Amino acid sequence: MVKSAISGRAYDEVSWNAFFRLRAHYNADWEAMSLAPGPALEAILSPTTFPEAKARQLPVLLRMLKHRRGTLDLDFLARETVDDAMAWLKALPAVGPKTAACVLNFSRLNMRALVVDTHVHRVTRRLGLSPARGDVQAAYDSLMDQAPEAWLAEELFEFHCLVKRLGQTFCTHARPRCRACPLKEICPRIDAGGGDVLAFWPRA
C-alpha cells in the first residue's frame, strides 16, 4: 500500500527508490512512519512527484487503517470477495482503484484485481477496450468484465505488465510509434492504409 501510494505520476525507478528509503529510515516500522512529521517524510519523498501531498497523505492513511482495524495487517482482505476488498480499501483516504488493485494483486494476497495505471488506461482506451472518456474506475470495471473467468491473479498481473510495457515503448502519450506497434493490425485508431494515427485519436 505504501509503495502504491507514492507511485502516482512517478517513474517506477523513482518510486521504488523512495519506498526503499522510507523502509530503511523507519526500519520497516510503518506505525512509526504513521507518526512521522510531514517535513521529514517530504525530504525522503522529494524525488517523487508531489512529495508534499504524499507526505501529508501517507501518515493519515496509515493512522486511518490502524483506527479501523487496530492493526496495519491487511491479510483479512483475503477472506473477502475482490469487490468487497476493493470497496473497503477505496474507503481509505487517498486510495483509488489503482492503489486498491495494487494492494490486492501485487501483494501476497494475490487476488484477482487488475491494476490500471496511466499506461494501461491509455492503451486500453485507444484499443477500444475501455471507455474512451472514462476514468480509471470505469476502465477497471470494463476490463474486469471482459477478463476471461479462467484468468487468475497471475494472468491479470501479466496482462498489466505487458500492456504497461506496450504503453511505455510504443503507445506512448505524446509520440506513439504506431507503425512499429505489434498491435497495429487490430488497433481501431490506426489507418489501415498507412499506419498513421487518425486525427481524432485522443492523446491522453
pTM of the model: 0.89
Q: Please, what's the largest Cα pairwise distance for the chain?
A: 61
pLDDT over threshold 60, residue 56: yes
Mean pLDDT of the chain: 92
Q: Between the CA atoms of 53, 86, 130 and 204, what dihedral angle is there, to the nearest 10 degrees?
A: 0
What cell does 149 get?
473467468
Dihedral (CA of 95, 58, 22, 9) sign: positive
pLDDT, tens digit, 9 for 90 and up, residues 79-97: 999 999 999 999 999 999 9
pLDDT, tens digit, 9 for 90 and up, residues 145-180: 999 999 999 999 999 999 999 999 999 999 999 999
Q: What percent of the chain has pLDDT over 70?
A: 93
pLDDT, tens digit, 9 for 90 and up, residues 110-144: 999 999 999 999 999 999 999 999 999 999 999 99
d(CA 141, CA 88): 16
Residue 128's contacts (CB-CB under 8 Å, 6 or more residues apart) are 188, 189
Sorting pLDDT into bands at 50, 70 and 90, what band is 191?
low
Q: What pLDDT score was predicted for residue 9?
A: 87
d(CA 17, CA 36): 19
pLDDT over threshold 70, residue 54: yes
pLDDT, tens digit, 9 for 90 and up, residues 57-66: 999 999 999 9
DSSP 27: T
